[in-house]
Structure 1
Amino acid sequence: MRRRAVLAVALVLGMALAGCGGGSTGTDNGAGDTTVDVGVVQLPIFAPLYVADAKGYFRDAGLTVNIQNVKSGQDAIPLAASGKLDAVLAGFSAGMFSAIQSGLDVRVVGSMGVADADTENPASALIVAKPLVDDGTIRSVADLKGHKIGALGGAGATSAFYVGMALEEAGLTIKDVQFVQLNSPDIPTGLKTGGIDAAFVSAPFWSQAVADGIATKIWTTPEGTSGTGILYGGEFAKTPVAQKFFDALARGARDLQGDARYSDENLKIIGDATGQTPEQVKSVPLYAWLPNLAPLPDQLAAMERMWMQVGALEYDTPIPQQQYVDTTFADHVAR
């Protein structure tokens, strides 16, 4: 049943993008360049793509890159598996693992935004309704047991995985809380009205809730943690173009190291790509990026394990990582 459902999604989405042209799988376009079709969720967390495109790094590599905005990685995975897209930059979810387990041929080849060392002003945080902190009901993450936690995407999304990380550090499991699906802008209201007791949410929503006296920050993701990444279609991953595309992406990531991510040039590039002004981009903490955009197999394994525990996956035997994780592109990034 699940396999038929995933293939049906692939058919519908493939038809929707039929007019946009199929993926290149490394095919020469007749002018000495190659074309790569990339699906991306239009967010600053995928800045290396926008920087590499705006600064001509793909052109320098002899590539023509077509960037297509997608709603989510889960929507785009069937397109990559069928060759309608060559690469996808998006967040990880339980749906990704279910799609791979059903037989869709995609590879996780890299990471995107990772948490940096700033725990005072992080890009995302776990927050608790302030009245529950003030009356002593919740003093630490360990006190979240049995409480309702708001999470964008619900139990099968990256937000829930991050909550699971916090819970495991406190000796609990992801099954010890109840997840409530809420869009990020609705989380402060949910905390204020008592609809949820805590939430994992990105800036500016967590910081605004704290500034307004609605919530208290109690945990942030450890440095180097990432909930997003780069996926290749299986056929595209076999082509020489795949390494060239990855090298150019990593070149963009190297331009975003440390405070350089907040340079005027980079802020403008990110703003232009995401429909924001440079000031708006700068007002929200940016993630960091690994210089070689290496994938994080251990974290992917932890995601799969937790989503199994919470019932977001319908299988109980982990997928062998050699089936869907490929570190060779990051290992061979051109220097």
Structure 2
Amino acid sequence: MKKLRIVAAMSLVGLALSGCAATDAPETSEGLQTVNVGHVQLAIFSPLYVADAKGYFADEGIQIKLEAIKSGQDAIPLAASGKLDVVVAGFSAGMFSAVETGLDVKVVGSMGVSAGDEEEPPSALIASKKLVDDGTISTVADLKGRKVAVAGGAGGTGAFYVGMALEEAGLSITDVELVTLGNPDMPTAVANGSVDAAFASAPFWNMPVDDGTAVNLWSTPAGTSGTGVIYGGDFASSDLAQKFFTALAHGAQDLQGDDRYTDENLGIIAAATGQTAEQVAAVPLYRWLPDLAPLPAQLASMERMWMELGSIIYTDPIPEADYVDATFSQNS
């Protein structure tokens, strides 16, 4: 059965990107080797864009070829087959399920992490102000039995964050009704009562709070990350794997503290994400670990929670060593 699932997953690759892995790619005219990188075009992946724009990949003998993807889950078969070398995206239940079937990928790093800023976090769990004003909701514990909107559904990172908030309040992720909504639709849904609460990214949590239709109920603890860096198995064992990560970490090091908001960095992030520098600066940016180290304990918590929700159907957790490799961050 597992073999059949692997074949089915790999068949998706033929319908998606084409190309060769970095280890087989010819050199460019500048003598650089190409690395194919799948990315979701968001500011949370700024180290990638900064490292590219500032020439850190070129310094390591690499030219990156960016391929837009819808989600990390969609790109896992591509990375496992070598159609993509690297994926920077959000984690999901589908990633764990793919690993369990035998697809060869490694989580090698983290991306945006929360600073624990309760006033201006990059994302937050908001609740209807009407329900707060009438006393129905005063704490996260009062969400029991209520509708909570999350992007990506029960198998997405939003559901994990909601589960974190509920567990802190002594509840379980199964104590609420999760409603799948895109971030842009959440302010309206909270305002009109379609949902009672939502876990939204900025500016979509700020908007209803600012217009008085929602209240910020909870924000992610410091050091929490729902996104990361994933290598295909073949790329992980190539001579470019460490070089790529070293350049990527250099980009993260340029984004520490208030350096995130330098004119140069804002311009790079804006160009990469189709925004203006002013738009990027107006939304709180995540932070990044200087070495982009992976967070295996959090990954294990994600897997456990998605098992509890039924988004993962296997029963035994995957050993961390089977899908996490911290050596690249340690050597960067």
Aligned to 1:252: 251
SS in 2 for 1:172: coil
- The one-letter amino acid of 1:16's match is A
Distance 1:209 1:7, change over 3 A: farther
Cα deviation for residue 9 of structure 1 reads 4.6
Aligned to 2:141: 142
Aligned to 1:23: 21
Aligned to 2:261: 262
In 2, Cα distance between equivalents of 1:193 and 1:127: 14
In 2, Cα distance between equivalents of 1:25 and 1:131: 57
In 2, Cα distance between equivalents of 1:153 and 1:38: 22
- CA offset digits 1:77-122 (Å, max 9, x no partner): 1000000010000000111111111111100000000001421010
Are the aligned partners of 1:26 and 1:236 in contact in 2 as well (CA < 8 Å)? no
SS in 2 for 1:292: coil
Q: TM-score, normalised by structure 1?
A: 0.95
Aligned to 1:11: 11
In 2, Cα distance between equivalents of 1:245 and 1:276: 26
Shifted more, 191-200 versus 288-297: the winner is: 191-200
In 1, Cα distance between equivalents of 2:211 and 2:5: 44
Structure 2 unaligned regions, length at least 5: none
Residue 220 (structure 2) pairs with residue 221 (structure 1)? yes
Are the aligned partners of 2:5 and 2:101 in contact in 1 as well (CA < 8 Å)? no
Are the aligned partners of 1:26 and 1:240 in contact in 2 as well (CA < 8 Å)? no
Pairing of 1:157-172 with structure 2 (within 5 A): 157-172=156-171
Percent sequence identity is 63
In 2, Cα distance between equivalents of 1:47 and 1:61: 19
Aligned to 1:234: 233
Distance 1:45 1:305, change over 3 A: same
Cα deviation for residue 26 of structure 1 reads 6.5
Cα deviation for residue 30 of structure 1 reads 7.5
Are the aligned partners of 1:38 and 1:65 in contact in 2 as well (CA < 8 Å)? yes
- CA offset digits 1:128-167 (Å, max 9, x no partner): 0111101111110111111110000111110010011111
Distance 1:175 1:33, change over 3 A: same
Are the aligned partners of 1:81 and 1:104 in contact in 2 as well (CA < 8 Å)? yes
Pairing of 1:46-195 with structure 2 (within 5 A): 46-195=45-194
SS in 1 for 2:205: helix
Aligned to 2:285: 286
Are the aligned partners of 1:26 and 1:239 in contact in 2 as well (CA < 8 Å)? no
Aligned to 1:297: 296
- The one-letter amino acid of 1:206's match is W
Are the aligned partners of 1:254 and 1:291 in contact in 2 as well (CA < 8 Å)? yes
Shifted more, 3-12 versus 156-165: the winner is: 3-12
Are the aligned partners of 1:26 and 1:242 in contact in 2 as well (CA < 8 Å)? no
Cα deviation for residue 14 of structure 1 reads 3.5
CA RMSD of aligned residues (A): 1.5
Cα deviation for residue 6 of structure 1 reads 6.0
Cα deviation for residue 331 of structure 1 reads 0.8
Cα deviation for residue 33 of structure 1 reads 2.9
Are the aligned partners of 1:14 and 1:79 in contact in 2 as well (CA < 8 Å)? no
- CA offset digits 1:250-269 (Å, max 9, x no partner): 00000000000110000000
- The one-letter amino acid of 2:215's match is T
Are the aligned partners of 1:127 and 1:219 in contact in 2 as well (CA < 8 Å)? yes
Distance 1:30 1:163, change over 3 A: closer
Cα deviation for residue 35 of structure 1 reads 1.7
Aligned residues: 331
- CA offset digits 1:47-105 (Å, max 9, x no partner): 00000000000001111211111111111110000000100000001111111111111
In 1, Cα distance between equivalents of 2:12 and 2:91: 21
Structure 1 unaligned regions, length at least 5: none
In 2, Cα distance between equivalents of 1:168 and 1:266: 37
Cα deviation for residue 34 of structure 1 reads 2.0
- The one-letter amino acid of 2:17's match is L
Shifted more, 51-60 versus 189-198: the winner is: 189-198
In 2, Cα distance between equivalents of 1:289 and 1:200: 21
In 2, Cα distance between equivalents of 1:304 and 1:69: 26
- The one-letter amino acid of 2:100's match is Q
- CA offset digits 1:304-334 (Å, max 9, x no partner): 000000111111110111000001001111x
